[in-house]
Structure 1
Amino acid sequence: MMEWTQSPDQSSAAIARTPWWINPSRLVLFFVLPIYLLCGLLGQQTLFLQGVKDYITLGIICIGGLSLLCFAVGAWGGSRLPANGVGLQRIPAFLLDQVIVGFGGITIAAYLVFFAPILWNMELLAEFLRGSSSIRFRYIFNQLPGITSFVGLGNLCVALYAARMIFYTKRIPIGIHVLIIFMLLCVFLRAFLNSERLALIEVLFALAIPFVSFRHKSSVFRWLAPFIGLIFLFLMFSVFEYFRSWQFYKDRGDYGLAAYMIYRFLAYFTTSINNGAGMMEFFAPLGYPALSGAWFYKFPLWSQLGIKLPTGAPIEFFLEQYANPEFNNPGGMFVLLVDFGMFFGCLGMIVCGVIAGNLFKRFRRATLLGVILFPSWLAGVSDLFRVLYWSETRVFPIVAGSLVAVFWIRASLGKLRRSKGSLPDVSGAETSVARAHF
C-alpha cells in the first residue's frame, strides 16, 4: 500500500513518499537537463541527416540550460509554499463518480465529433493500415476549437478513476469501468491515427503516477521508471512512425528500419533544441507572447465575437525559411526567452516551476486538485525538450476542468454540510487514504 511520512510543518498532515522523479525539480535536474545537454552537444550528425542547418552553439546550450535551472529553482520553491485544498478523505466516493461520468460523457461526445469522418468511411482506416502513405488523418479528422478540445477532459477522468481505485474501498460501478476503457481506446486511436503521441503520454501519466506514488513501494523499477519510460517511448514512437513516415521514406534512403527509427527519434529532440536556438538568433526578444500565448490566440470565443487576432507565432515562418517544417517543435526551454528575452523569460520559467512545485506538494498530500491536475502537469515537465506544454491550447480544458471539478465538489460538500450538520469523514468507510492536509 501507500508509504506516508509526517509533514515537518503540519503534524496532522500526511505526505506520500514519492520516487525522486515525480518531484519536478529533480526530474528537470537529473533527467531533462542531462538529455538536453547530450542532444545539444552531440546532435550535429542528426541535424545533418535531416537536412537542417545547425543553429546550436555552446552559448545557446548554456542559455537553454539556465532556463531549465530557473524552472528547477522555481519548482523547489513552489514545493515549500502552502498547499491547502480539499483532501480526498473528506470526499464521498459518489461525488467523484459523478464527476467521472459527467466529464466522461463530454469527452466521449467530443471524440465522436472528432472521429466522425472515419466513422462514416471506414475504408480510409483500412487503407491506412495496409500501409498507404497518402492518408493524412490530421487533415481528415474534425478538429473544432471549443468542441473537440473537450477530449482533454479525459485526462481528468482517468486521474479520478485512478484515485477511486487507490484510495477508496467502495466498489466502482461497472459503467465507469466501461466508460474509461472506451475512453482509453479513443485516446489510443487519436494518438495512432492523428500522430498525437502526447495524448497517449498524458493519459498514461494520469493513470500511472497515482499508482506509482501511492500504491507501489520502493523498488528498482520505481527508481528507474523515467529511463524505462524512455525506452517505452522509443518503441511506441517506432510503431507510430512505421505507419506515419517510414512508408514514405523507406525507398528514399540507404538506411534500414532500425537506423531510421533511431535517427528519427533523436531528431525530435535535437531539432526542437535547434529550432529554439534559431528563433533565439533571428527573433528574440519578440516582446509579446507569440509562442507562449498560442492558446489565447486560438481561443474559440474570439471568432464567435467577430474579433480577429494574429496567430502570433513566428515559428511557421522560421520553419519555412530557415529549418524543416516537418520538425516543428520550438524547444520548451526557449519559448519564453524568445517571447520576452532573457530576464523576463527566465522569470517566467521560475513561475512555471513554482506552479509545478506547488501542485506536486498538493499531490503528495492527496488533495483533490493535486491528484487530478498534477499528473498532466508532470507530463509537461517531462516534455520540456520539445514544447512548453502549459502554453499549448490542449492544456486549457485540462486546467479549466480541474478548477470546475474542485468548485463543484466544494459546493456539493457545502450542501452536505448544511443538510447533515457536518461532513462525513469517509477515511475509514469509503477510502483507505491517510488523512491529508486540507
Structure 2
Amino acid sequence: MSTVRLPLREGAWWLHPAWTAMLATVPGLLAVWLIGDDSFREWWRTPKIFDDGKALIVMAFIGVFVMGCMLPSLARTVRATDVSVTVRQRRILLLAGRAAAALTLVGYAAWMASAVSSGLSFADLAEVFSLSPGSADAVKSDLATIGGVTTLTQLGPLAVVCLFLDRRLGGGRHTAMFAVLIGLTLARVVLNSERLALMELALPILAMVSTLRPGDGRRHYRWLWAALPLLAPFALVTLFGTFEYVRSWSHYSSIVQIDYSEFVLRRLTGYYATAYNNSAIVVDHVGPGLAWPYYTVGFLWNFPGLSAVLTPESVLGFDPAQVWPGLLRRLGNPEYNNTGGVLAPLADYGLVGGLVFWAAVGLAVGVCYRWMRSGEMRGLVLYPVLYVGLVDLVRYFYWGEGRAFPTLAGAVLLALLVHRRRAPGGTA
C-alpha cells in the first residue's frame, strides 16, 4: 500500500504535556499566592479566599499530573523521525475534515439565524466593530445558543486538524475553508466575547505546526522552536489587550485612574488569580466530595436529552450552577466567574480521589503525546485538540465542558478509524 511520509520537527520541548501544564499553572499560582488580600480587593473587588492549604493541594495535583504525563515517555521505544500515512488514512482524514467543516458552518448559520430572529441587525454589528461603548453587551444578548445545533460550531477545531494534516500530506490547500473558519471565529470572539473560541482553533494548529515539518526540504531552525515560549507572554498580552479593548475598556476607561497597559496587565492577571480564588470558594462552599461528579463532567449535565432526566437537583439535591452566582456576589466578583480547573476534582472526588483523578488524566494525555511523537496518526489527531485543555487548566476543566465534547468525541472516533488502517509493518 502506498504511503506518504511527513518529517517530525525537533526542538518543541514545551509541547510535552508536563512542561505545558507547568508553564500554564505555575505563574498563576505564584500570583495568587503572593498577591495579598488588600490588592485582591483593590484590583478585582474580591476578598482573597485562597490560602496556603489550597496552594499545597494545587501543587500536589500538578505534581501527580506531571508524573502521569512523564510515565509514557519513560517507556523504551524507537524514536520516530517521520509519520507514515497510508492512502486510506488520507481519505478518512479528508472526509472527516470536510464533514466537520460542513457541520461547523451549519452550526454558525443556525446561530446567526437565531440571532437575527432575536433582533440582531447590521446596524448592531456596525456599532460593535466601530467600538461603540456598550454595543458588544447589547449584541451578546441576542446571540442565544440552540442546544444540540449551535454546538456544531465546536467541530471547527476538528475540521482544522484534519484539513491541516491533509494539506501537509500534499492534498488540497483548503485556503478558503481556513479563511472562513478563522473569520467566523474572530467574529464570534468580538461579538460574543469568546476568546476561548480563538484558542480552540489556534492551539491545535500550533501543536501540529510544532510537530510536523513541511515536506519541501526547507531548513529547520530547532533553536527557534525551542525558544518559542519566550514569545508567549508578549503574544498573550497583545491578544488579550486587543480584544479586551472592545470587551470592557469602553466601560472602565471612565472609571479607573490607570492607563490602558496597566489595566490590561491587572485584568489578565486577575483572570488567573481569581480562577484559583474562585476554586477555593467552590471547594469550601460546594464541595469537596460531591455525591456525584459535577465540575469535571459538565457535559453530562447539559447533554441534549440526558439533561432532561439527569438533573443536578435530582442527583445532588441542589444545582451548583444556581448556587454559584450567589456565592460570587457574596464572596467574589461576578465579573470574574471562572470556577477554576485545577481544584475541580477536589470538589468532585475529595483529596484522595482528586490525586488519583489527576494522575489518571496525566497518564492519558501523556500516552496521546507519546503516540504523536512516535509518528502515530491517532496521536496527531488526539493530542492537538487535547492541547487546548492543557493551556487553560487554571480557569476551568476544559475537557469536561460541553463545548469540548463534540471535538473530543469526534477526535476519539477518528483516532480509532485511522489507527485501524495501519501500513503493513509500520505505524498509523
TM-score by length of 2: 0.85
From the superposition, tell whether residues 149 and 227 of structure 1 become closer, same or farther in structure 2 (CA, over 3 Å): farther
Counterpart CA distance in 2 for 1:36 and 1:70 is 18
* Aligned 8 A contact 2:289 2:346 in 1: no
Quick one: which of 137, 144, 147 aligns to 1:145? 147
Matched-pair contact (CA < 8 Å) for 2:301–2:310? no
Shift of the 192–225 alpha-carbon distance from structure 1 to 2, 3 Å rule, reads: farther
Q: What amino acid maps onto 2:210 in structure 1?
A: V
- Deviating more after overlay: 305-314 vs 248-257: 305-314
2:71 equivalent in structure 1:
77
Distance 1:32 1:409 in 2: 31
For 2:163 and 2:244, locate their aligned partners in 1 and report how far apart those are by CA, in whole Å: 31
Structure 1: tracts of 5 or more residues without a match: 5-15, 414-422, 426-434
Give 2:283's aligned amino acid: M
Query: Among residues 87, 98, 114, which one is paired with 2:95 in the alignment?
Result: 98
Q: Is the 8 A contact 1:116 1:141 kept in 2?
A: no
Between the two proteins, the alignment pairs up a number of residues equal to 399
Distance 2:67 2:35 in 1: 27
Task: Please point out which of 242, 245, 250 is paired with 2:245.
Answer: 242
Amino acid at match of 1:437: T
Q: Are the structure 2 counterparts of residues 81 and 109 from structure 1 closer, same or farther at C-alpha, using a change threshold of 3 Å? A: farther
Instruction: Name 2:20's counterpart in structure 1.
Output: 27
The 1:123–1:269 alpha-carbon spacing in structure 2 relative to 1, beyond 3 Å, is same
The 1:248/1:202 distance shift into structure 2, 3 A limit, reads: same
CA RMSD of aligned residues (A): 2.7
Report Cα offsets for 1:164-204 as digits up to 9, x if no partner.
Answer: 232x13x41x6x33222211111111122211111111211
Provide Cα deviations, 1:260-312, integer angstroms capped at 9, x if missing partner. 11111110011001111222333331422122222111111225x66644444
Change over 3 Å in CA distance of 1:284–1:396 after alignment to 2: same
- The 2-side partners of 1:424 and 1:357 are apart by 24
- CA shift for structure 1 position 24: 0.5
User: Is residue 2:391 matched to residue 1:382?
Assistant: yes
Aligned partner (choices 85, 90, 93) of residue 89 of structure 1:
85
Gapped regions of structure 2 (runs ≥ 5)? 78-82, 215-219, 314-318
* Residue type at the aligned position of 2:24: V
Taking the aligned partners of 2:62 and 2:426, their CA distance within structure 1 comes to 31
Q: 1:61 aligns with which of 52, 55, 61?
A: 55
Q: Distance in 2 between matches of 1:257 and 1:177?
A: 36
SS at match of 2:296: coil
**Contact 1:56-1:277 at 8 Å conserved across structures:** yes
Distance in structure 2 (CA, Å) of the matches to 1:307 and 1:386: 26
| SS of 1:284 mapped into structure 2 | coil
CA distance in 1, matches of 2:41, 2:167: 45
**Which residue matches 1:350?**
359
SS in 2 for 1:213: coil
Change (3 A) 1:49 1:437: same
* Deviations 1:194-252 (CA, angstroms, capped at 9, x unpaired): 11111111211121211112217354431232342232121111111111111111111
Write the distance in 2 (CA, Å) between the matches of 1:398 and 1:80.
29
The equivalent residue for 2:261 is 258
- Residue 126 of structure 1 corresponds to 126
1:160 correspondence with 2:153: no
